[in-house]
Amino acid sequence: MMLLTKRINLLMVFLIFCTLFSGCGPSTEELVATAVAQTAAASTNTPIPPSVTPTPSVTKAPTILPSSTPDTNVLFSDDFSEPSSRYDYADDGGEIKQSEGGLSISVTELEWIFFAYIPGYDYENVAIEVDVLSVEGDPEDSYGVVCRSTASSDYTFEISYDGYYAISLWEEDFGYTYLIDWSRSSAINTGLNNENHLTVICNNNQLILKVNGVLLANVTNDKLSSGEVDLFASNDRFSNVKVIFDNLLFTKPDDMLDSSEPIQSSATSACQSPSSISAEDSGKLIEVCGEITYWGDVPCPNCALGGYSFLNLDRSFTIISYEWVFNDGWIGDCVRVSDTVEMLGNDPVFVYGKGEGYAGSDCTTDDGIMTCSSGDYFGYYSGCK
């Protein structure tokens, strides 16, 4: 468990923070809607807190469903307006059912994924469009679409609540291989009560992901030739996860392919190695990715609270905090951090501030101890060796 202790008014206040584990999916996938326990590489997490009650305000994704598409191109559609139990599934880990005007997937078990498979449809080439509303969850929880799904393999298209996306190949014998590693995009509506329109195209060896009409990824892979389509939600953090899928549409992909369409640049290319940061970067906003290899506390008589705590990335770059205290639960975590470079003596550092400890998280206070589900300062990075 990763704990951050706040040094204010002699009251010890704890911030619990856990980075996202590298596995984004199950070890064995079922052909029916089912819950799959993931193998977690991340640190042990605290129990899941109560569900977050959504506010009435909803950010809608733009309407992109192609109304002019001829009926001969439509392979399947479902707006979930007609009562049906075809997708229903429930166990101790969560529930899938039609409700609230769409297909609701709730996951209450930590580090589980729930898949809702679309029964009776097997495709070689297909374009999938769907609206997804995030109702409950934490910044690093995720949801998405799977194509060419079989019992032993699939292609997974995934976006997180905090604006990251990825495409991966899952094989039962080898696990996940990232074809497009986790990257941030401003095209993704982030947080709760926000809706995103996902377009996934699996056409021959071409795999395409669009979000809200913006092309984010176009990659080729020829390992899988056909399979079913799944929708899924993943509980990767502390809170209950709930998303609602709506306006599901499968079409023939040919008319949706445009080789001249530009791919939006992502933050991945800007991610720098910890060893590359120098004093010359002071004052610059930089994103650093690496493994946490050491932590500690340093006495500082001139500091307001008598010292500071630190994390070391790849044994070469330091993140310090004057308000929070780190511990050995962070060791081995692979993180992505964006901040302005400051100087500590002759050394370039990031300073993890008080407000950053709360940003993007839901916090509760009990008997003077504050527990937060997660903050958005430390993001997940899967590229550590």
Which pLDDT band, with edges at 50, 70 and 90, does 29 fall under? very low
Q: Is the pLDDT of residue 257 over 70?
A: no
147-204 pLDDT per residue, tens: 999 999 999 999 998 888 999 999 998 888 889 888 888 899 998 999 999 999 999 9
Looking at the domain 50-263, which fold is it? Jelly Rolls (2.60.120)
Give the Å distances, CA to CA, from 58 to 190, 192, 194.
Answer: 11, 8, 6
> What is the greatest pairwise CA distance in the chain?
75
Contact 340, 352 (CB under 8 A): no
Contact 292, 332 (CB under 8 A): yes
Q: How many CB atoms lie within 10 A of CB 152?
A: 13
**Domain boundaries defined on the chain:** 3-17+268-380, 50-263
Q: How many CB atoms lie within 10 A of CB 51?
A: 15
Give the angle subtended at the CA of 89 by the CAs of 84 and 93, to the nearest 5°.
Answer: 150
Report which of residues 117 and 255 the model is more confident about: 117
- Across the range 263-280, mean pLDDT stands at 72
Contact 8, 323 (CB under 8 A): yes
Q: How is domain 3-17+268-380 classified at the architecture level of CATH?
A: Beta Barrel (2.40)
Residue located via tokens 């089912």: 34
114-152 pLDDT per residue, tens: 999 887 778 999 999 999 999 998 877 899 999 999 999
- Across the range 71-78, mean pLDDT stands at 86
pLDDT for res 349: 95
pLDDT for res 307: 92
Pairing relationship of beta strands 271-272 and 285-299 according to DSSP bridges: parallel
Q: Is the pLDDT of residue 216 over 90?
A: yes
- What's the alpha-carbon Rg for the chain, to the nearest Å? 22
Which pLDDT band, with edges at 50, 70 and 90, does 236 fall under? confident
39-62 pLDDT per residue, tens: 333 333 333 333 333 333 334 444
pLDDT for res 120: 72
Percentage of the residues of the chain whose pLDDT score is greater than 70: 71
CA–CA dist 342, 348 (Å, integer): 6
The winner for highest mean pLDDT among 17-21, 216-220, 327-331 is 216-220
Contact 342, 301 (CB under 8 A): no
Minimal CA–CA distance to 129: which of 63, 204, 205, 203?
63
Tokens matching residue 296: 């500690």
Residue located via tokens 């060896």: 205
